[in-house]
């Protein structure tokens, strides 16, 4: 690992706790729906309302999603984990306790790897545990009172906790993006950050290099990657200022205000509650057999890191390319289809990571909205590979394919050859015709010929330009070079 | 038929099936006896609901679609939530609360055809041994109205003893079925933990709470237990995935060769001599029926008191958090902020014993105390369960007293919670181990109050307990005796 980036001489230490809302149709301990956006309290059943006599019953789908995450991140999946009650009073917590996992979580250890620039980073996980979400308190629309919406109460969450392994806000955001990619890839979470399906808490501290860990403050509920970076950067600056001014950092929970760009303490450790955790007697220990784990594994799609390894071994791609192309399932599928169509994996990778990504970003399109289909890009790359067109000419064809109105012909690989023909971009691979042009250009530029022969190799460029121009760009530059050298040699 | 109230569940079921009497006649007879609410046993009644159910039963009997207990009346401890009656759990905090659903036990008994007479008084949230902790007043013992009926299912026991109903449900967390059954001279059984669904039981201590029937005889308890038990896996995660049984099937089995374990620790200094002599007599009678007595040891019997009074309040402190004035039940009128609302609501509406247990429970779960109290208690709880397994390697059932004394006078121990706790000593061990236990009447003490004998079986051995009790009751008629004025 390279030396940590320092901020005013301080090392930044960040750990993450991410609440991922699991994509089950019903709640973690009841049969009520988890759908977002319904009228308040219409998706809360007797169990969610904590009516007397109600009891929790585990949703197996939530457990399977936890198993999937554990498999995706190389974690240990506990054969026996325990649900505990976290006791505290709040109006949107109907039972007066939250059912969570405390001492023995279902997912233990594991890691998340990603590239930060060219550098590969690995963040270790401590655990991931299942728990239920609380409801929402609505303070706006009720004068002098608060409204309670319990639709969200009992929604399944998987809280994913890392070691304090991150050393910059950029690394933290890259981790969060990678985790987001994984949970959406394996389909355990819809990843919708606006709706709160993927909420991050960042534990931030600073220290002088080599010193023991500083006191941390926890920034709660970061629900966009942009705010995440702003909040951490602000928090780091604030903590360094405090320390520089001789004030000790107090452990605290803070909130980020996107309007002011500042973090502000909600509560300090002194008023931290005693949650009186104890095993929930309503739920027997969660037992996960090896058979269950293997069944889930057999039903899972290929994981991004496994797919990336395969791209390296099967297509001979560099690891960076393989990681980049496995950013999403759709991107990976696009690559594989393109590579299959042209038989040129590295070229396909270059095109997707280069030209295609540039156009996608410029037009703000998703991989599933591309006007150029993988088969077309494959056909185009095939024409570069067989020297029908130059790489440069291919870019013109690509541009021509891109903004075309969608028609019945759209997406047909044959369009590539049609465009090459109609745009007249076919490379002049006929040596005889090229020699005629070269002879004409040499005759017209005796000065350059003389200079080249005198040892000025740069004079060659003065000859290539006019030849390319005379061929209307269709000459193969490599072939031009070779013929020129032969004639001048 | 003026003696309908003296008929057993089995007799009533047969008479109804043979159309010797209608369900409406039976219900009317019992509703009449309940008039004026003798012994303060009932908390909610509704003759309209009861008679409507009885009419429906009569229609089913006429059509030939009757359930096994069609038309037989039952009343439920107010710990079971019910759609058709209010459910208070004996607490002010749930005054007038109406559940949108029936407890599984209630709906299963309805499915068997039983007609509901109403809801029965009990200690607040089932916390008590004398029924003096009900927010709706104490229940009196039909054998002597200056005495307590036992608790927490005191209303249930008194109602059966006074012939206000042939059958009731109770709940037993640390003895709340067995002890009031003993004090009121009736028969009651707490099945193995997980046999009866807890769905719809207002939770006191989740790892201990268990529903069970109370009636006059073991034969009736077997019929009721068969109707109310069985897996409820979609609603109660602690429900046992064990097929339901016909608990009546072995009632007639002879006791030849039965080994009855006698725990030395149940017959020590604290046991009143009149209780002891009634138990001794019953044990002699069982021997004449073919049983042999085997001395066994349950060495941690005394520890069951501190263990229980750590675990049960710990769970209760958490289970009762939902009564916060936000969603249902009582909410204080004047408060300045959220914390004030919680404080006032809960201070006003919880009784002293409930508050005491919430305090104890919160304390033993607190950071820094958890290991020393809760965790330690759980360890000893497992040892107590192991002791029973050791004992059952030598015997088939265990017998002993239900309580150290007979029913005491109202008010005698009401200011002394510790004395109440100590009186639970013989019922707590089976509760902590999750074992089935029952109480059957075996005579009377010095003050003329009933004495109950406890039978404890190994897991899922309810049928064996009922068989032993039934064989006793075939020969000895204490269960047929009624308190003065009840017959």
pLDDT tens digits along B165-205? 999 999 999 999 999 999 999 999 999 999 999 999 999 99
Residue A113 structure tokens: 């790897």
Is the C-alpha dihedral spanning B250, B253, B259, B263 positive or negative?
positive
Examine the domain organization and report whether A407 and A479 are in the same domain: no
- As a whole number, mean pLDDT of residues A224-243 equals 96
> For an interface test with A, which of B322, B344, B347, B431 has the most A Cβ atoms less than 10 Å from its Cβ?
B322
**A274 and A314 in a common domain:** no
Same domain? A452 vs A416: no
> Closest approach of chain A CAs to the CA of B327, in angstroms?
8
- Same domain? A452 vs A320: no
Choose one of A261, A293, A325: the last residue of a domain. Answer: A293
Residue A38: CB partners within 8 Å, gap ≥ 6? Answer: A151
Contact yes or no for A96 and B328 at CB 8 A: no
A397 is written with which tokens?
A: 């064809």
The whole-number pLDDT of residue A410 equals 62
The answer as to whether A415 is a domain residue is yes
Rounded to 5 degrees, what are φ and ψ at B62? -65, -40
The answer on A273 and A141 residing in a single domain is yes
CB burial string B381-401: b at 16+ within 10 A, e below? beebbebbeebbeebbbbbbb
The answer to whether residue A455 neighbours chain B at the CB level (below 8 Å) is no
Instruction: Give the tokens for residue B44.
Output: 């909610």
Q: What is the reported pLDDT for A368?
A: 79
CB atoms within 10 A of CB A140: 7
Note whether B367 contacts A: Cβ–Cβ < 8 A. yes
For residues A327 and A353, membership in a common domain is answered with yes
Confidence band for A451, pLDDT divided at 50, 70 and 90: confident
CB contact under 8 A, B321 and A49: no
Residues A402, A436, single domain; the answer is: no
Among B91, B99, B152, B226, the one annotated catalytic: B152
* Whether residue A255 is found in the same domain as residue A383: no
Which residue of B lies nearest to A147 if distances are taken between CA atoms?
A: B326
Interface contact A117, partner B, CB < 8 A: no
Burial class for A421, CB neighbours closer than 10 Å (0-12, 13-18, 19+)? exposed
Annotated catalytic residue, options B8, B22, B77, B248: B77
User: Would residue B129 show up in a list of annotated catalytic residues for this protein?
Assistant: no
* Contact criterion met (CB < 8 Å) for B321 and A91: no
A56 in contact with chain B, both atoms CB, cutoff 8 A: yes
A41 touches chain B (CB under 8 A): no
A348 and A414 inside one domain = yes
Average pLDDT, chain A: 91
Q: If you ran DSSP here, which 8-state letter would residue B42 be given?
A: E
How far from B388 is each of A117, B209, B222, B355, B374, CA to CA, in Å? 65, 19, 24, 33, 21
Q: Are B171 and B153 in contact (CB under 8 A)?
A: yes
Q: Tally the domains of chain A.
A: 3
Looking up tokens 């909600």, which residue turns up?
A266
Contact B2, B32 (CB under 8 A): no
Question: What CATH number is attached to the domain comprising A435?
Answer: 1.10.10.410
**Residue among A52, A58, A91 whose CB faces B99 most closely:** A52
CA distance B74 to chain A (A): 20
- Average pLDDT value for chain B: 97
Helix (H) or strand (E) holding B429: helix B428-433
A91 in contact with chain B, both atoms CB, cutoff 8 A: yes
Which residues have a Cβ under 8 Å from the Cβ of A78 and sit 6 or more positions away? A104, A105, A106, A107, A108, A286, A288
Peptide bond connecting B152 to the previous residue in cis, omega within 30 degrees of 0: yes
**Is residue B47 among the annotated active site residues?**
no
Where in the sequence is the domain holding A391, given as residue range(s)? 302-422
Q: How far is CA A477 from the centre of its chain?
A: 39
Whether B77 is a known active-site residue: answer yes
More confident residue, A483 or A201: A201
**Residue with tokens 């002394």, as numbered in its chain:** B416
Residue range A389-437, pLDDT digits in tens: 888 888 888 888 887 555 545 667 788 888 888 887 777 777 788 888 8
C-alpha span between B324 and B319 (Å, rounded):
11
Catalytic residue among B22, B57, B153, B176: B176
Shortest distance between the Cα of A222 and any Cα of chain B, in A, equals: 27
Q: Angle at the Cα of A367 (from A363 to A373), degrees rounded to 5?
A: 95
Residue B250's pLDDT is: 97
The partner residues of A81 in beta bridges, in order of sequence, read A286
**A414 to chain B nearest CA, in Å?**
58
Compute CA A350 distance to the chain's CA centroid, rounded to the nearest angstrom: 19
Determine, for residues B235 and A85 on separate chains, whether the beta-carbon distance falls below 8 Å.
no
Q: B-chain residues within 8 Å CB-CB of A85?
A: 318
- State yes or no: pLDDT of A1 exceeds 50: no
Q: B341 pLDDT exceeds 80? A: yes
Q: Per-residue pLDDT averaged across B374-401, rounded? A: 98
| Position A331 confidence tier, pLDDT thresholds 50, 70, 90 | very high
Q: Do B327 and A49 touch (CB under 8 A)?
A: yes
The predicted structure's pLDDT at residue B487: 62
B32 and chain A in contact, CB less than 8 A: no
User: How confident is the model over A39-51, as a mean pLDDT?
Assistant: 95
Cα A281-A283-A284 angle, rounded to 5 deg: 95
Q: Cβ of A470 under 8 Å from any chain B Cβ?
A: no
As a whole number of angstroms, the distance between CA B186 and CA B480 comes to 9
Lowest average pLDDT, out of A262-266, B111-115, B470-474, goes to A262-266
Q: Which of the residue ranges A18-22, A483-487, B432-436, B471-475 would you say has the lowest mean pLDDT? A: A483-487
Q: Is the pLDDT of residue A2 over 50?
A: no
Q: Does the structure show a pLDDT above 70 at A4?
A: no
A330/A370 Cα distance (integer angstroms)? 11
B342 touches chain A (CB under 8 A): yes
* Closest alpha carbon to A250 in A241, A261, A239: A239
Q: A119-132 and A156-162: which strand pairing?
A: antiparallel
CB A276 to CB B103 under 8 A?
no
Structure confidence at residue A266 (pLDDT): 85
Q: What is the pLDDT of residue A142?
A: 77
Ramachandran region, residue A53 (left: φ > 0; alpha: ψ -120 to 50; beta: rest): left
Among A399, A422, A445, the domain-final residue is: A422
pLDDT for res A70: 97
Question: What tokens does B406 get?
Answer: 């007979």
Backbone angles phi, psi at B101, to 5 degrees: -145, 160
- Inter-chain residue contact B365 with A46, CB threshold 8 Å: no
Between A5 and B297, residue with greater pLDDT: B297
> Is A323 part of any domain?
yes
User: Where is mean pLDDT largest: A396-405, A474-483, B261-270?
Assistant: B261-270
Distance CA(B195)–CA(B211), nearest Å, equals 9
User: Are A281 and B80 an interchain contact pair (Cβ–Cβ within 8 Å)?
Assistant: no
Residue A365 lies in a domain: yes
A119 found inside a domain = yes
Q: Is A49 at the interface with chain B, CB within 8 A?
A: yes
Candidates B144, B154, B145; CA nearest to B175 is B154
CA distance B247 to B250: 7
- Pairwise CB contact (< 8 Å): A87 & B237: no
d(CA B146, CA B435): 33
pLDDT score of B457 more than 90: yes
Domain borders along chain B are: 4-251
Angle A461-A465-A467 from CA coordinates, rounded to 5°: 115
Mutate which: A55, A59, A63, A135, vs B, most B CBs within 10 A: A55
Cβ–Cβ below 8 Å for A52 and B238: no
Most confident of A111-115, A268-272, B85-89: B85-89
Whether A272 shows a pLDDT value over 70: the answer reads no
Q: Are strands A119-132 and A111-116 parallel, antiparallel or unpaired?
A: antiparallel
* A456 has pLDDT over 60: yes
CB-CB under 8 Å, B81 with A53: yes
Most B CBs within 10 A among A281, A285, A286, hence the mutation to make, goes to A281
Chain A residues within 8 A of B365 when measuring between CB atoms: 87, 276-278
Query: What phi-psi label fits residue B174: left (phi over 0), alpha (psi between -120 and 50 degrees) or beta?
Result: alpha
Nearest C-alpha of chain A: how many angstroms from B203?
A: 6
For residue B445 the two structure tokens come to 């003490």
A1 assigned to some structural domain: no
Please state which CATH class domain B4-251 belongs to.
alpha beta
Instruction: Say how far apart CA B95 and CA A43 lie, in whole Å.
Output: 27
Q: pLDDT, tens digit, for every residue of A22-44?
A: 999 999 999 999 998 899 999 99
Q: Which residue of B has its CA nearest to A93?
A: B322
Instruction: Determine whether the interchain pair A278/B365 forms a contact, defined as Cβ–Cβ distance below 8 Å.
Output: yes
Query: Does residue A451 sit at the B interface (CB-CB below 8 Å)?
Result: no
CB contact (8 A) between residue B236 and residue A55: yes
Distance, in Å, from the CA atom of A256 to the CA atom of A228, rounded to the nearest integer, reads 9
Q: Which residues are CB-neighbours of A304 under 8 A, at least 6 positions away? A: A72, A181, A182, A185, A326, A332
Both A245 and A323 in one domain: the answer is: no
Band (pLDDT 50/70/90 cuts) for residue A361 is: confident
pLDDT band at B116 (very low <50, low <70, confident <90, very high): very high
Nearest CA in chain A to B371: A278
Q: What is the 3-state secondary structure (H, E, C) of chain A?
A: CCCCCEECCEEEEEEEEEEEECCCCECCCCCCECCCCCCCCCCCCCCCCCCCCCCCCCCHHHHHHHHHHHHHCCCEECCEECEEEEECCCCCCCCCEEEEECCCCCEECCEEEEEECCEEEEEEEEEEEEEECCCEEECCCCCCCCEEECCCCCCEEEEEEECCCECCHHHHHHHHHHHHHHHHHCCCCCCCCCCCCEEEEEEEEEECCCCCCCCCEEEEEECCHHHHHHHHHHHHHHHHHHHHCCCCCCCEEEEEECCCCEEEEEEEHHHCCCCCCEECCCCCCEECCHHHHHHHHHHCCCCHHHHHHHHHHHHCCCHHHHHHHCCCHHHHHHHHHHHHHHCCHHHHHHHHHHHHHHHHHHHCCCHHHCCCCHHHHHHHHHHHHCCCCCHHHHHHHHHHHCCCCCCCCCCCCHHHHHHHHHCCCCCECCHHHHHHHHHHHHHHCHHHHHHHHCCCHHHHHHHHHHHHHHCCCCECHHHHHHHHHHHHC
> CB of A137 within 8 Å of any CB in chain B?
no
Separation CA A181–CA A112 (nearest Å): 11
A278 touches chain B (CB under 8 A): yes
B80 and chain A in contact, CB less than 8 A: yes
Helix, strand, coil percentages, rounded to 5, for chain B:
40, 15, 45
Give the mutation candidate from B208, B327, B371 for the A interface (greatest A CB count, under 10 A): B327
Q: Which residues of chain B does A89 touch, with a Cβ-Cβ cutoff of 8 Å?
A: 321, 324, 342
Q: Please state, as a whole number, how many other Cβ atoms lie within 10 Å of the Cβ of residue A195.
A: 12
Contact call for B238 and A281, based on CB within 8 A: yes
Which of A225-239, A469-483, B297-311 shows the lowest mean pLDDT across its residues? Answer: A469-483
| CA pair distance B162, B170, nearest whole angstrom | 16
Cβ contacts of B101 on chain A, cutoff 8 Å: 46, 51, 53
Residue B220's φ and ψ, nearest 5 degrees, are -65, -40
- Closest-CA distance of chain B to residue A40, Å: 14
Residues A300/A71, Cβ–Cβ less than 8 Å: yes
- The reply to whether A17 falls in a domain is yes
Q: Is A53 at the interface with chain B, CB within 8 A?
A: yes
Tokens of A29: 């301990």
Stretch A5-12: mean pLDDT, rounded?
92
Confidence bin at A477 (pLDDT 50/70/90): confident
A272–B contact, CB cutoff 8 A:
no
A433 Cβ under 8 Å from any chain B Cβ: no
Give the torsion sign (CA, B103, B109, B110, B116): negative
Does position B95 have pLDDT exceeding 70, yes or no? yes
Q: Scanning the structure block, which residue is given the tokens 């003893």?
A: B161
Whether residues A267 and A209 fall in one domain: yes
Section A299-312 average pLDDT: 92
Q: ipTM of this predicted complex?
A: 0.96
């Amino acid at each position: 690992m390279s030396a940590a980036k320092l901020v005013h001489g301080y090392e930044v230490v960040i750990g993450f706790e991410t609440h991922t809302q699991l994509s089950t149709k019903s709640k973690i301990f009841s049969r009520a729906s988890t759908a977002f956006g319904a009228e308040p309290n219409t998706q809360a059943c007797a169990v969610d309302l904590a009516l007397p006599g109600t009891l929790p019953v585990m949703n197996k789908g939530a457990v399977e999603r936890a198993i999937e995450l554990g498999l995706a991140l190389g974690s240990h999946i506990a054969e026996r984990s325990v649900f505990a009650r976290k006791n505290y009073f709040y109006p949107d917590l109907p039972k007066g306790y939250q059912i969570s996992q405390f001492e023995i979580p279902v997912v233990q250890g594991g890691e998340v790897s990603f590239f930060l620039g060219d550098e590969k980073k690995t963040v270790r996980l401590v655990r991931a545990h299942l728990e239920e979400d609380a409801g929402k308190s609505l303070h706006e629309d009720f004068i002098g009172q608060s409204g309670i919406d319990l639709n969200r109460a009992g929604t399944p969450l998987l809280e994913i906790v890392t070691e304090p392994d991150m050393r910059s806000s950029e690394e933290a955001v890259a981790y969060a993006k990678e985790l987001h990619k994984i949970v959406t890839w394996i389909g355990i979470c819809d990843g919708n950050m606006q709706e709160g399906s993927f909420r991050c808490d960042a534990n931030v501290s600073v220290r002088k290099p080599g010193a023991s860990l500083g006191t941390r403050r926890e920034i709660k509920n970061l629900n966009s990657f942009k705010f995440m970076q702003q909040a951490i950067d602000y928090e780091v600056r604030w903590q360094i200022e405090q320390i520089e001014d001789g004030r000790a950092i107090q452990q605290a929970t803070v909130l980020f205000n996107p309007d002011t760009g500042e973090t502000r303490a909600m509560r300090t450790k002194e008023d931290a509650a005693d949650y009186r955790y104890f095993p929930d007697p309503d739920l027997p220990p969660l037992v996960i057999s090896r058979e269950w784990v293997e069944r889930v594994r057999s039903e899972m799609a290929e994981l991004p890191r496994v797919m990336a390894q395969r791209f390296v071994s099967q297509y001979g791609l560099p690891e960076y390319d393989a990681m980049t192309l496995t950013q999403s399932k759709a991107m990976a599928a696009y690559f594989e289809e393109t590579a299959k169509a042209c038989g040129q994996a590295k070229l396909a990778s270059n095109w997707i990571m280069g030209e295609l990504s540039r156009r996608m970003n410029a037009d703000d399109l998703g991989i599933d909205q591309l006007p150029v289909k993988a088969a077309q890009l494959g056909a185009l790359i095939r024409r570069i590979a067989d020297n029908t067109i130059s790489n440069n000419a291919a870019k013109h064809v690509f541009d021509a394919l891109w903004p075309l109105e969608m028609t019945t012909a759209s997406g047909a690989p044959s369009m590539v050859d049609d465009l090459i023909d109609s745009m007249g971009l076919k490379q002049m691979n006929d040596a005889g015709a090229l020699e005629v042009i070269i002879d004409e250009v040499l005759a017209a530029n005796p000065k350059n010929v003389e200079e080249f022969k005198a040892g000025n190799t740069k004079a060659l460029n003065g000859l290539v330009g006019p030849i390319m121009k005379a061929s209307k760009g269709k000459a193969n530059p490599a072939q031009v070079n070779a013929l020129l050298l032969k004639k001048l040699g | 038929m003026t003696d309908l109230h003296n008929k057993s569940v089995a007799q009533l079921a047969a008479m109804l099936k043979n159309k010797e009497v209608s369900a409406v006649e039976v219900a009317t007879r019992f509703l009449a006896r309940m008039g004026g609410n003798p012994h303060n046993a009932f908390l909610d009644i509704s003759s309209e609901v009861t008679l409507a159910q009885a009419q429906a039963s009569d229609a089913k009997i006429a059509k030939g679609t009757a359930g096994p207990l069609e038309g037989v009346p039952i009343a439920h401890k107010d710990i079971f939530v019910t759609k058709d009656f209010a459910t208070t759990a004996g607490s002010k905090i749930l005054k007038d609360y109406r559940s949108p659903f029936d407890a599984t036990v209630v709906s299963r008994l309805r499915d068997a055809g039983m007609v509901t007479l109403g809801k029965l008084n009990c200690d607040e949230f089932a916390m008590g041994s004398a029924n003096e902790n009900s927010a709706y007043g104490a229940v009196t013992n039909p054998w002597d109205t200056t005495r307590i009926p036992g608790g927490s299912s005191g209303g249930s026991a008194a109602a059966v003893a006074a012939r206000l109903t042939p059958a009731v449900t109770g709940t037993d967390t640390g003895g709340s079925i067995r002890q009031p059954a003993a004090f009121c001279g009736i028969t009651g059984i707490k099945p193995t933990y997980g046999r009866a669904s807890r769905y719809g039981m207002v939770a006191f201590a989740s790892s201990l709470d268990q529903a069970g029937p109370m009636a006059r005889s073991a034969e009736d308890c077997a019929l009721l237990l068969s109707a109310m038990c069985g897996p409820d896996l979609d609603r109660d995660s602690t429900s046992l995935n064990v097929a339901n049984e016909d608990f009546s099937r072995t009632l007639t089995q002879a006791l030849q060769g039965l080994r009855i374990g006698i725990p030395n620790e149940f017959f020590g200094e604290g046991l009143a001599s009149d209780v002891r002599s009634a138990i001794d007599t019953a044990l002699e009678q069982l021997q004449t029926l073919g049983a042999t007595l085997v001395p066994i040891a349950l060495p941690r019997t005394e520890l069951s008191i501190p263990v229980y009074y750590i675990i049960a309040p710990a769970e209760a402190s958490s289970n009762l958090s939902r009564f916060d004035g936000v969603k249902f039940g009582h909410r204080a009128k004047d408060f300045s902020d959220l914390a004030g609302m919680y404080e006032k609501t809960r201070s006003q509406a919880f009784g002293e014993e409930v508050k005491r247990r919430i305090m104890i429970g919160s304390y033993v779960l607190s950071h820094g105390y958890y290991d020393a109290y809760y965790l330690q208690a759980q360890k000893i709880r497992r040892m107590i369960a192991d002791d029973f397994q050791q004992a059952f390697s030598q015997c088939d059932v265990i017998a002993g007293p239900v309580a150290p004394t007979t029913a005491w006078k109202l008010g005698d121990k009401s200011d002394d919670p510790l004395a109440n706790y100590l009186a639970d000593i013989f019922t707590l061990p089976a509760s902590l181990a999750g074992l089935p236990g029952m109480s059957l009447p075996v005579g009377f003490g010095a003050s003329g109050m009933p004495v109950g004998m406890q039978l404890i079986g190994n897991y899922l051995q309810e049928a064996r307990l009922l068989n032993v009790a039934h064989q006793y009751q075939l020969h000895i008629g204490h269960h047929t005796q009624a308190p003065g004025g009840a017959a």
